[in-house]
Chain A
Amino acid sequence: MYGWIWRHLPGNAWVKALISLALVVAVVYVLFNYVFPWAEPLLPFNDVTVDNQ
């Protein structure tokens, strides 16, 4: 999978490394801003109140 991505990136090794880095940053950004905030309330790690539900 990662090998396939690497082979299909354009340019020489340096350019590929740079694009890979940008891709990783983009993925982390999407995870932190959209995926994790969405997933967090669905997981039972952060309920602090007492309630009767």
Chain B
Amino acid sequence: MAVSVFGELLITAGLVLGLFVVYSLWWTNVLADRAADKQADKVRDIWAHQDDGSGRPATFDSKDGIGFLHVPAMSGDEILVEKGTTSKILNDGVAGYYTDPVKATLPTSGKKGNFSLAAHRDGHGAEFHNIHKIEKGDPIVFETKDKWYVYKVYALLPETSKYNVKVLSAIPKESGKTKAGHYITLTTCTPVYTSRYRYIVWGELERVEKVDKERTPPEELRG
């Protein structure tokens, strides 16, 4: 009798663990995509209404999201970028820019520095799932209300320690740069399904385009 109860408990534990995998890899994506879509719609809506004299304030709250990241080599979808890299923010299926331990320099500021971002590799939207498909020379485009910031990937670091905060530096030396510039850094966890190491992708600003009336994307995102 005791043995059969023990056996049933083991089977139950196995089922619960199996359900946890389903939860992590599927259900969190469902929730995150829903949240990200909602927030992205809100940002697009604010952008669309800022100039039309509807009486909405011209400034908007950066906690709603500051723009969209487009990385055609990694994902066909746009990724909303919000402030902060806490799990509460990232779990909504967005990318977050670092405020800690090294503060990111926003491209909109115009200053030289590093625009460092993090997002999930698996679950919670898995926005950076295919980060390993990015190669040197691939474009990373950051879209704001008025501008397209076109970056080009120039260095990859497929595996580094999770304590390696130097990758976020204003001049990321490990990427081979020694001078200040307009850089972008994508960070996520690796290998897939674990958090043992971090995967880093660096890009440098190539040019900035003005957004036109039709929001025509830069050529890197066409075709």
Q: Which residues of A contact B (CB under 8 A)?
A: 1-3, 28, 31-32, 36, 39-41, 44-52
Contact among B9, B16, B19, B187 with A48 in the assembled complex (CB-CB below 8 Å): B187
**Shortest Cβ distance from residue A37 to the other chain B in the assembled complex, whole angstroms:** 9
Interface assignment of B170: CB less than 8 Å from any CB of chain A: no
Main secondary structure of the interface of B (DSSP, over half): mixed
Q: Note all chain B residues with C-beta closer than 8 A to A45.
A: 24, 122-123, 193-195
Known contacts being A45-B24, A48-B90, A50-B165, is A2 close to B120, with CB within 8 Å?
no
Q: Note all chain A residues with C-beta closer than 8 A to B9.
A: 1
B8 lies within 8 A of A51 (CB): no
Cα distance A2–B160 in the bound complex, in angstroms: 48
B187 lies within 8 A of A49 (CB): yes
B124 lies within 8 A of A46 (CB): yes
Interface assignment of B60: CB less than 8 Å from any CB of chain A: no
A51 lies within 8 A of B162 (CB): yes
Cα distance A41–B123 in the bound complex, in angstroms: 13
Q: Note all chain A residues with C-beta closer than 8 A to B167.
A: 50
Closest to A41 in B: B87
Contact among A2, A31, A40, A52 with B8 in the assembled complex (CB-CB below 8 Å): A2
Q: Interface extent on B, as a size class?
A: 35 or more
Smallest CB-CB A-B distances: 4 pairs? A47-B195, A36-B23, A1-B8, A49-B118
A52 lies within 8 A of B101 (CB): yes
Cα distance A41–B195 in the bound complex, in angstroms: 12
Contact among B90, B163, B194 with A50 in the assembled complex (CB-CB below 8 Å): B163
Q: List 21 A-B contacts (CB under 8 A).
A: A2-B8, A32-B27, A36-B23, A39-B20, A44-B194, A44-B195, A45-B24, A45-B122, A45-B195, A46-B87, A46-B123, A46-B189, A47-B189, A48-B85, A48-B187, A48-B195, A49-B85, A50-B163, A50-B165, A50-B187, A51-B101
Cα distance A50–B139 in the bound complex, in angstroms: 23
**Shortest Cβ distance from residue B172 to the other chain A in the assembled complex, whole angstroms:** 11
A50 lies within 8 A of B24 (CB): no
Cα distance A47–B195 in the bound complex, in angstroms: 6
B119 lies within 8 A of A48 (CB): yes
Q: Note all chain A residues with C-beta closer than 8 A to B163.
A: 50-52
Known contacts being A50-B167, A51-B101, A52-B163, is A31 close to B16, with CB within 8 Å?
yes
A50 lies within 8 A of B164 (CB): yes
* Chain B residues numbered 48-96 whose CB sits less than 8 Å from any CB in chain A: 85, 87, 90
Closest to B90 in A: A48
